[in-house]
Amino acid sequence: MADSRHSLFYQFSASDWGGFLKGVEKEGLRADANGFIAQTAHPSALGAALTHPQITTDYSEALLELITPVFGNTEDMLSSLRDTHQFVQQNLGDEVFWAASMPCEINGNESIPIAEYGTSNTGHLKHVYRQGLAVRYGRIMQSIAGAHYNLSLPDSFWRKWQEVTGNSSALQDFKSEQYFWLIRNFRRRSWLLMLLFGASPALDASFVAGVKHDLKRFDDRTWAGPHATSLRMGDLGYHNNAQASLNICFNELTTYTQTLDQAIHTDWPDYEAIGTRRDGKFIQLNTSILQIENEYYSAVRPKRTAERGEKPIQALDARGVEYIEVRCLDLDPFSPIGINREQVDFLDLFLLDCLLSESPVIGKDECDRLDDGYKDVVAQGRWQDLTLCQGGTRVPVGAAANELLARLQPLAELLDSWQGGNTYRSALSAQQDKIEGEDWSVPSARVMEAMSASGLGHRDWVLSMSQQHKQTLTETPMSPETQARFEAMSLDSKAEQAAMEAADTQPFSEFLEDYLKS
């Protein structure tokens, strides 16, 4: 049954509703023809990773990150992402763009080359930050890939929403408060996304060489979690002991930025023991719990586009929350671009309902319960006897998921009535179908079934999928206009990086000192 906020939203008309603004950042490793992590430099045809607006690298020189502009509809966003994939794929030579979140074959830390960004101070800062991640956590953890989905709502919506809720704050303050409202409910419900979209139940044995784990052997070079949905988001994925000591508060903007800032300015003994230089070279930016805000791993982040040289916290403090970044999405290995339309439309519906539902402040006890439930679904979400704590009682995971999905039906119908068609009802139905009956068709189960049917382990099955995707994306040539646009972006990015390097006169040590003080 709709609560009071839903009732207010249902009073909107189609003209009041401005729709969603969306973009995606999609990561993926370059791998050689044998399924081993690429040892080659970032392809020159792809431009300068430091300055290219749509093609960059994440942690590793081999870990590409493709970024879309902001779009007002799913079709245009996915079309843009597909164009970028196509341009990348046609410039990889014998290499492939790895289709899964868990990496291809690796051979320890040294096989994972840290990303290079040229000789400018900004480029050197990005490289040293990654060196810091290496000495703190090792490089292997940084070889994992995922998709980040960015969502915002237009000011026309926020002004109407502010009016009907009777709020008289400054518009930006109201937006920030409401985005955190959404985030609190996201934290309560994000386990559902791990069930519906987790797609990393297995990994190559090289990822856990010499590491203690409780995975089961799938074949001689593949390990799997029998009921896992996302090894990427579990204990073998993004985690570290220092961050476990943090108590980052997601209840409101001021406490969020304050607790993050404290972590950036609080030394951690293990990192102090490492120091910031080795053999005269910087190996980490500082010895704090976090070098910079981006080091904090979380399933969701409030974001504000930062200006060059500006820190994310400074941008948030100065101008408030601009959009929400969902960071817990595994790559869809069955999609040539790692994400699919029904998934995006469902995310829009899911996130809007997080905004429209009642969202009390999260206390420590609830925070601990939410973390435990999330971890349980990541590790055992395909076990249908798994129960989650919902409203003070233990509920089977399937029943809890169906209840959450059912509550989205009226909202899906309303949005479809405004724009025509059945976009949101279809996206919702696709998720409901995944958890019907005894044999769930969630992506993690599909991956295990596909590997079993093929007789291939993780490396060889993903390599085969990656090769198929490359063929799919390159069999039809890009239009001359699109090709020319991407070639121009690559050339412009190289020129911009060269200009930055020529303009830098300040020694890096002074630049870093100024940056950390700012």
C-alpha dihedral sign at 305, 362, 375, 329: negative
pLDDT of residue 2: 47
Q: Which residue has the tokens 């430091």?
A: 50
Q: 408 Cβ partners below 8 Å, 6+ apart? A: 349, 350, 353, 428
The phi and psi torsions of 36 (rounded to 5 degrees) equal -105, 145
Buried b or exposed e, range 104-123, using 16+ CB within 10 angstroms? bbbeeeebbbbbbbbebbbb
Query: SS3 of 383, please?
Result: coil
User: What are the helix and strand counts (H, E) for the chain?
Assistant: 18, 14
Structure tokens at 486: 């991407």
Give the DSSP letter of residue 217: E
The pLDDT value recorded for residue 240 is 61
Question: Which 8-state DSSP code applies to residue 197?
Answer: H
Which pair of structure tokens corresponds to residue 18? Answer: 């401005």
- Strand-pairing partners, residue 282, are 277
Q: What is the spatial distance between Cα 53 and Cα 49, in angstroms, rounded to a whole number?
A: 9
- Count Cα neighbours of 469 within 13 Å in the Cβ-side half-sphere: 27
**Which portions of the chain are predicted below pLDDT 50?**
1-2
Residue with tokens 């809720």: 165
- The DSSP bridge pattern shows strands 281-282 and 55-57 to be unpaired
Q: Let me know: does 102 contact 457? Beta carbons within 8 Å.
A: no
Find, among 119, 120, 143, 139, the residue nearest to 131 by Cα.
139
Measured N-to-C along each axis, helices 121-137 and 480-503 cross at an angle, to the nearest 10 degrees, of: 90
Say whether 455 sits in a helix, a strand or coil.
coil
Count how many residues are written for the chain: 518
What pLDDT score was predicted for residue 310?
85
- Tokens representing residue 61 in the block: 């020189």
Residue pLDDT, tens place only, 107-141: 999 999 999 999 999 999 999 999 999 999 999 99
State the CB neighbour count (10 A cutoff) for residue 316: 23
The single-letter code of the amino acid at 276 is: T
Cα radius of gyration (the chain): 23
DSSP symbol at 141:
G
Instruction: Look up residue 205 and give its DSSP letter.
Output: G
* 239 within 8 A of 266, measured Cβ to Cβ: no
According to the model, what pLDDT value does residue 238 have? 64
85 CB contacts (<8 Å, ≥6 apart)?
A: 66, 97, 336, 337, 473
pLDDT of residue 245: 67
Q: Are 384 and 440 in contact (CB under 8 A)?
A: yes
**Cα–Cα dist 160/162, whole Å:** 5
**In degrees, to the nearest 5, what angle opens at C-alpha 442 toward C-alphas 441 and 448?**
80
What is the C-alpha to C-alpha distance for residues 460 and 210, in angstroms, rounded to an integer?
A: 22
pTM, entire model: 0.96
Please report the beta strands in 78-231, taking only residues with DSSP state E, as ranges in sequence order: 96-97, 147-152, 202-204, 216-219, 222-224
* Digit-coded pLDDT (tens) for 203-212: 999 999 999 9
| Cα maximum dimension of the chain | 65
φ/ψ (deg, to 5) at 281:
-110, 145
Q: How far is CA 228 from the centre of its chain?
A: 19
Can you tell me the distance from the alpha carbon of 418 to that of 17, in angstroms, rounded to the nearest whole number? 8
Half-sphere exposure of 402 (CA within 13 A, CB side): 12
